[in-house]
Structure 1
């Protein structure tokens, strides 16, 4: 993984999480803004998938368990999609909070993926 991409993803996901939780707690239902925040997180995760495929080919192989890394990555990619589907089906203020919680979970998962890729030795 690339450190600057990891930092961008963690900051974007944490900011989206704060934004969505704040919107939900003040009573706002899911909107283009809250769903768009998760769409940005999803876009960055797709960039991460491409990076994870290309990095080993360019001399940046993982030092940790590759299976664990990919399970985290696939789960992280699916999480915003599931949260957005939930928010669109249940359109309540708590759905907006769920969008924020999903974004926070993605931030934590991306940092863990970075640790698996760079720090651990299999």
Structure 2
């Protein structure tokens, strides 16, 4: 993993999550802005997947459990897709709140992935 990219991902996920939560609690239905924030989080996760696949080949080996890392990454990749699909089917203010919760959850998962990748060797 690239540390600065991980912090960028975390910042985007938190900002997108707070935006979606605020708009959802204000009664706004999912719109281009909220779905765009989730799409940006998903795009950054796809880039993270590519980085995670290439990093070991260029000398950036993980020191933690590689299986645990990829389980977090695949789960994080699926969450925004499922949430966006739900928001498009059930267009209510609560769908926007769910988009925010998913973005914040992805932020936590990205931080955990950084911890796993850079864990001290046992």
Q: Please tell me whether residue 112 in structure 1 is matched to residue 115 in structure 2.
A: no
CA distance in 1, matches of 2:51, 2:121: 20
CA distance in 2, matches of 1:98, 1:120: 35
Matches within 5 A, 1:78-117: 78-117=78-117
Which runs of no fewer than 5 residues in structure 1 stay unpaired? none
Q: Please tell me whether residue 12 in structure 1 is matched to residue 12 in structure 2.
A: yes
- CA deviation profile, 1:56-109 (whole Å, cap 9, x unmatched): 000001000000000000000000001001111110000000000000000000
Please state how far the C-alpha of 1:121 moved relative to its aligned partner. Answer: 2.4
CA distance in 1, matches of 2:53, 2:8: 19
Matches within 5 A, 1:1-122: 1-122=1-122
- CA deviation profile, 1:10-40 (whole Å, cap 9, x unmatched): 0000000000000000000000000000000
Equivalent position SS for 2:4: helix
CA distance in 2, matches of 1:90, 1:120: 44
RMSD over aligned Cα atoms: 0.7
Q: TM-score, normalised on structure 2?
A: 0.98
Extract structure 1 runs of 4+ deviating beyond 6 A. Answer: none
Q: TM-score, normalised on structure 1?
A: 0.98
